[in-house]
Amino acid sequence: MVNMLKNREIMSRMLIKPAAATVSAALQQHQRQQQQYVIRRWKSFLHNSNNANRRAAKSTATSTALAAATSKRHESSGDFIQPLDVRRSFSTSHKMPSSSKALTLENINPNFIAMEYAVRGPLVIRAGEIEKELEKGVQKPFDQVIRANIGDCHAMGQQPLTFLRQLMALTFETRLLDSPEYPEDVKKRACAILDGCQGQSVGSYTDSAGLEVVRRQVAQYIEKRDGGIASDWQNIYLTAGASPGIKSILSMINSEVGCKPPGVMVPIPQYPLYSATISEYGMTKVDYYLEEETGWSLGRKELQRSYDEAKKVCNPRALVVINPGNPTGQVLTRENIEEIIKFAHDNKVLVLADEVYQDNVYDKDSKFWSFKKVAYEMGEPYRSLEMVSFLSTSKGYLGECGIRGGYMEVLNFDPKVKAMLTKSITAALCSTTAGQVAVSALVNPPQPGEPSYDLYKKERDGILAALKERAELVHKALNSFEGYKVNPVQGAMYVFPQIEIPPKAIAAAKAKGMAPDVFYAFELLETSGICIVPGSGFGQKPGTWHFRSTILPQTDKLKLMMEKFRVFHTEFMKKYK
């Protein structure tokens, strides 16, 4: 801090002047069909886009007529999956035929075509189009789109924590360190971060694993969280959100062993980051099913079934566990976690503990247990289990999705393997310093007695209390709907109800080439303006249908959303029952 204060005046003067396979033969065949379908769909899209580019050269009147005809054709077929505006997506100045292109769908990596990310899929594209239509005055049975499809806290009205934004302001504009408007405890933290930066500037590169000062803060945070269990700061890697850390680990284990491709065990339902990344890397997705009937719990028997079946076609290398759950909102019990750890040890698989929602626990009878703490307290041999845990500033009570801050803690790796991981991360230089500052705010918050503490506590507790209220509100509302089965939202930011879709609606969906839950979601969007994600985007047991909705809209808007939802569902059931 002393060094920082000595150089503030100098700095002030200077400142002035970025195809998953399944495990049985039947599921593999289904996956191949899905990949072929996706490829055909995108080829069709490209073909239509090229035709549209040629048509765009005609007169405005002709173009308008063609657009109207296209719109009418979609309406008559009931196909709500509208193509992107090709005149925006593809430049009309490119007159060359597609055969002259160096890159075509036939010669790019097919994994890029096969991968899909449900939370930003066709429904979200259509929601964006509807918003633009509303802006132009197009009449709809609603006046706004409610985006309940993604866990974007601030987009849904959550206010940022004052402490975090002050810390970022001071580290990015150091002249503010002289301002009396900023509390001294925040200034002290800002100076510590800046002293750890080359040139005392967040504009410089950091070590590839992140600023040492922040990594040490993360280790101290983990020790405190886990009741004093040691954490080595050199096992901490700062990442741009949790996603790059997850992808770096999956990339590292992407190697054939015994002439079999690598497999990754993922929960069903799962967060689409995993299925998309596994597809992108050409790995094998190994599904294991959560037990919806017991609150989305996870049993050893199901894990072993999944593993044993997968061994026929791949080598399961890693086990993904999301706790608290996304999209399911469950919080695993300690006993459940112990079962999972024993399974991982017995079958020699790496545990990937996605714990980004660890601060989002609302159920009074639930408690977050870190995999690291449980494994350590189980003693050997489980204490030495290889695992990686992840945390992000995008969730919890910060909700800073766009800043892209996060970390992973790598445990019990062979030193040579860890060196290779570090080398691979080095190639990306470093994560953004803004994200690293946000991580510092997360793990090193104001303490009792410090000037910022009272406001920090008030804002943090208010956010978590509001989320708890909304979790209960959504569960109660949806549970009253005909044909709905809804588990309580114990944690995270989502509800994942099961819905009974009438046979008549299933037939209507089939006629439009849609899965029934996709059909339901599009009907909801077009009728009420509510955007959700169909359960098929996360995976679900065959013959069941779900959707994921966030609980993030502010309470008044959430109540409005639930009422719109009720009206829609009532009419939907009348129409198709």
> What CATH number is given to the structural domain containing 562?
3.90.1150.10
pLDDT of residue 115: 64
pLDDT of residue 82: 33
In a domain, 32, yes or no: no
- What is the residue whose two structure tokens read 């000037």? 451
Distance (Å, rounded) from C-alpha 393 to C-alpha 345? 30
Distance (Å, rounded) from C-alpha 206 to C-alpha 212? 9
Distance (Å, rounded) from C-alpha 400 to C-alpha 395? 7
Domain shared by 367 and 218, yes or no: yes
Both tokens of 334, joined, read 């300690």
Nearest to 500 by CA among 441, 545, 560, 554: 545
Q: Any idea what the CATH number is for the domain that residue 396 is in?
A: 3.40.640.10
Look at residue 315 and give its three-state secondary structure.
Answer: strand
pLDDT of residue 17: 36
Domain shared by 343 and 462, yes or no: no
324, burial (CB in 10 Å: exposed 0-12, middle 13-18, buried 19+): buried
Domain shared by 431 and 472, yes or no: no
CA angle 173, 176, 181 (to 5 degrees): 140
Domain shared by 306 and 210, yes or no: yes
In a domain, 191, yes or no: yes
In a domain, 40, yes or no: no
In a domain, 52, yes or no: no
Spell out the long-range contacts of 478-487 with Cβ–Cβ below 8 A and sequence spacing 24 or more: 478/562, 478/565, 480/566, 481/565, 481/566, 481/569, 482/569, 482/570, 482/573, 483/573, 485/292, 487/292, 487/295, 487/296, 487/328, 487/329, 487/330
The boundaries of the domain holding residue 508 are 118-145+457-576
Count of alpha carbons within 13 Å of 546, Cβ hemisphere only? 25
In a domain, 65, yes or no: no
Distance (Å, rounded) from C-alpha 447 to C-alpha 443? 11
pLDDT of residue 117: 59
- What is the residue whose two structure tokens read 């991360």? 425
- Among 444, 479, 500, the domain boundary falls at 444
Domain shared by 429 and 495, yes or no: no
pLDDT of residue 67: 33
pLDDT of residue 298: 87
Domains in the chain: how many in total? 2
Distance (Å, rounded) from C-alpha 315 to C-alpha 547? 31
Helix (H) or strand (E) holding 338: helix 334-347
- Among 423, 444, 465, the domain boundary falls at 444
pLDDT of residue 243: 87
In a domain, 30, yes or no: no
The count of residues in the chain is 577
pLDDT of residue 110: 73
pLDDT in tens, the chain (577 residues): 545 544 544 444 344 333 334 444 444 454 444 445 444 444 444 444 444 344 333 333 333 332 333 333 333 333 333 333 332 333 334 444 556 888 877 777 777 776 665 556 788 888 889 999 999 999 998 988 998 888 888 888 889 999 999 999 999 999 999 999 999 999 999 999 999 999 999 898 888 889 999 999 999 999 999 999 999 999 999 998 888 889 999 988 888 888 899 999 999 988 878 888 888 888 999 999 999 988 898 889 999 999 999 999 999 999 999 999 998 989 999 999 999 999 999 999 999 999 999 999 999 899 999 999 999 999 999 999 999 999 999 998 888 888 899 999 999 999 999 998 998 888 778 888 999 999 999 999 999 999 999 999 999 999 999 999 999 999 999 999 988 999 999 999 999 999 999 999 999 999 988 889 999 999 999 999 999 998 888 888 888 999 999 999 899 999 999 999 999 999 999 998 8
Look at residue 368 and give its three-state secondary structure.
Answer: coil
Domain shared by 316 and 421, yes or no: yes
Helix/strand/coil (H, E, C) string of 201-216? Answer: CCCCCCCCCCCHHHHH
Domain shared by 472 and 562, yes or no: yes
- Among 418, 444, 470, the domain boundary falls at 444
Distance (Å, rounded) from C-alpha 247 to C-alpha 273? 9
Domain shared by 436 and 348, yes or no: yes
